[in-house]
């Protein structure tokens, strides 16, 4: 079977959880005898083709200066035709999309569908459900994910600095009145406020189009599956298939029992993006609140995603030698890095769909301290894998770290590898899904196209 895997970013310039997942899936499928290609956009006008880990990669251009409507998802990307031509030339049996971005979104999925391909979409982040992309209502409490014009207009508007009352009022106006308000003169913020309900309605339509254009939609965690159902997703198309640890990560552990530190200060690590939704500031503030005598070392290994946030972290850390802000760790070194910790901290504020690093910590035999929210609450078994804490609660984090720093053996007693789901398990499930949908795509494919194949 010829399979194209598509996503919004890829190696070497991007190495997030979705990229790690797709890399492992592609290698597993190739090892099973399938022909696999990975496609992703790149900034600028040029195309690029190369190999990564033995898999063919194609990068199509994405405009660096999109129109306002393109940025808002109200019109197709200007470079969509170049993607469509490449996809048509490849003529895969199946198109599997993992992105939900301007460069890899509903228009790309529909293009594959129109070419007669079997289509599968995996949702790795909240973006298809949540316009704000965090699943935090008003940026504060967990949302059920239901797309509602008035509620989502207020929530998304607040993230853009629009007073809640203004966004909520516009969300309740009839469509004709909103169109009139969009045409009124005013500054950028007023125009954004006027357009907000329209953006929410378009967002809901994209969600419906996602399911219409997909033979199957894969959710990688319970809460995301539930959010899809809340919005009317057809249950027969929706599949739950959880993430897995890359087989190469397991290989780098070497099958050995992880070393257990018996002395020295408590070593705590953070691996991930330096972004406000990751809650790194909560961890920093908790450490800063500890007595200076507390025996603790904290390594923050992350890639800055928000320059202002990164500068704020540096300001918070200044003068505290117990906290080190260091560059991100390369994929080849993640296993050894985690093994060097007593505890992995994941203080996320938003609803994670994993993250994969929580599974990697379990595989490497290291406990985690994590927010009791989203996918983390589904992965971490308290008392066995670590501790779940109230999100954004500096006092709770300080209390836990004080206890563990006072007696690191509490954390070290949880050292030892745990059985984890691996990408080979994911590959097996995906091949089952692929087999189910390819036959249906052949039946609906135009005869001329089918003959060409």
Of residues 82 and 263, more confidently modeled: 82
Model pLDDT, residue 215: 98
Tell me: do 428 and 404 sit in the same domain. no
Domain assignment present for 299 = yes
Arithmetic mean of pLDDT, 303-310? 90
Domain assignment present for 204 = no
pLDDT band at 64 (very low <50, low <70, confident <90, very high): confident
Structural domains in the chain (count): 2
235-273 residue pLDDT tens: 999 999 999 999 999 999 987 666 777 789 999 999 999
Using an 8 Å Cβ cutoff, are 39 and 4 in contact? yes
pLDDT over 90 (residue 362): yes
DSSP character string of 75-139: S--TTHHHHHHHHHHH--SEEEE---SSSSSHHHHHHHHHTT-EEEEEE-SGGGT-TTSS-EETT
35-51 residue pLDDT tens: 999 999 998 888 999 99
Tell me: do 281 and 306 sit in the same domain. yes
Domain assignment present for 130 = no
pTM of this prediction exceeds 0.85: yes
Domain assignment present for 361 = yes
pLDDT band at 341 (very low <50, low <70, confident <90, very high): very high
Tell me: do 408 and 440 sit in the same domain. no
Domain assignment present for 100 = yes
Tell me: do 436 and 398 sit in the same domain. no
Domain assignment present for 75 = yes
Q: What is the widest separation between alpha-carbon atoms in the chain?
A: 75
Sign of CA dihedral 29, 31, 32, 37: positive
Domain assignment present for 105 = yes
Q: Rg (Cα) of the chain, in Å, rounded? A: 23
Lowest mean pLDDT among 274-278, 371-375, 437-441: 437-441
pLDDT over 60 (residue 230): yes
Specify the CATH number for the domain of residue 381.
Answer: 3.40.50.2000
Tell me: do 373 and 396 sit in the same domain. yes
Tell me: do 403 and 448 sit in the same domain. no
Continuous segment of H or E residues that includes residue 57: strand 55-62
Model pLDDT, residue 192: 63
Tell me: do 320 and 427 sit in the same domain. no
Angle at alpha carbon of residue 365, lines to 363 and 367, rounded to 5°: 110
Of 328, 315, 327, the residue nearest 285 (C-alpha): 315
Tell me: do 275 and 356 sit in the same domain. yes
DSSP state of 182: H
- Read off the tokens for 115: 């070419």
Question: Distance between CA atoms of 259 and 365, rounded to whole angstroms?
Answer: 9
Tell me: do 433 and 367 sit in the same domain. no
Domain assignment present for 370 = yes
Helix, strand, coil shares of the chain as percentages rounded to 5?
45, 20, 35
Tell me: do 445 and 396 sit in the same domain. no
- For a pLDDT cut of 90, what percent of the chain falls above it? 78
Tell me: do 308 and 404 sit in the same domain. yes
Cβ neighbour number for residue 40 with a 10 Å cutoff:
25
Packed helices 356-363 and 17-31: angle between N→C axes, nearest 10 degrees:
70
If DSSP codes are grouped into helix, strand and coil, which group holds residue 353? coil
Question: Distance between CA atoms of 135 and 143, rounded to whole angstroms?
Answer: 5
Which residue range forms the structural domain that includes residue 403? 252-412
Tell me: do 428 and 408 sit in the same domain. no
């Amino acid at each position: 079977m010829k399979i194209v895997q598509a996503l919004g970013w890829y190696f070497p310039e991007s190495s997030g959880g979705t990229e790690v997942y797709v890399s492992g899936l592609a290698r597993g499928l190739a090892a099973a005898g399938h022909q696999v290609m990975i496609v992703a956009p790149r900034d600028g006008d040029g195309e690029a083709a190369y190999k990564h880990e033995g898999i063919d990669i194609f990068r199509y251009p994405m405009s660096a200066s999109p129109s306002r409507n393109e940025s808002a998802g109200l019109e197709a990307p200007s470079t969509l035709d170049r993607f469509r031509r490449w996809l048509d030339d490849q003529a895969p049996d199946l198109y599997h999309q993992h992105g939900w971005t301007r460069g890899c979104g509903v228009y790309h999925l529909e293009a594959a569908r129109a070419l007669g391909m079997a289509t599968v979409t995996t949702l790795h982040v909240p973006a298809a459900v949540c316009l704000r992309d965090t699943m935090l209502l008003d940026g504060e409490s967990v949302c059920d994910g239901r797309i509602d014009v008035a509620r989502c207009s207020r929530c998304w508007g607040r993230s853009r600095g629009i007073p809640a009352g203004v966004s909520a009022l516009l969300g309740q106006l009839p469509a004709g009145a909103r169109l009139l308000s969009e045409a009124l003169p005013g500054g950028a913020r007023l125009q954004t406020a006027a357009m907000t309900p329209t953006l929410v309605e378009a967002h809901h339509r994209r969600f419906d189009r996602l399911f219409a254009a997909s033979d199957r939609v894969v959710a990688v965690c319970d809460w995301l599956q539930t959010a899809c159902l809340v919005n009317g997703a057809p249950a027969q198309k929706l599949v739950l298939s959880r993430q897995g640890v890359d087989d190469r990560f397991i290989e780098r552990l070497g099958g050995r029992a992880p070393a257990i530190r018996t002395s020295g200060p408590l070593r705590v690590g953070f691996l991930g993006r330096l972004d406000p939704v990751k809650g790194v500031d909560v961890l920093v503030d908790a450490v800063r609140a500890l007595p200076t005598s507390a025996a603790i070392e904290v390594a923050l290994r992350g890639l800055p995603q928000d320059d202002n946030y990164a500068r704020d972290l540096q300001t918070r850390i200044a003068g505290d030698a117990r906290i080190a802000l260091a560059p991100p760790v390369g994929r080849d070194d993640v296993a050894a890095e985690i093994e060097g910790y007593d505890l992995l901290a994941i203080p996320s504020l938003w609803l994670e769909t994993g993250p994969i690093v929580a599974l990697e910590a379990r595989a490497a035999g290291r406990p985690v301290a994590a927010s009791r929210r989203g996918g983390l609450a589904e992965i971490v078994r308290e008392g066995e894998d670590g501790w779940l804490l109230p999100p954004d609660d500096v006092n709770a984090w300080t209390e836990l770290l004080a206890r563990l720093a006072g007696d690191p053996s509490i954390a070290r007693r949880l050292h030892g590898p745990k059985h984890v789901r691996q990408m080979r398990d994911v590959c097996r499930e995906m091949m089952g899904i692929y087999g189910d949908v390819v036959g249906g795509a052949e039946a609906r494919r135009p005869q001329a196209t089918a003959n060409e194949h």
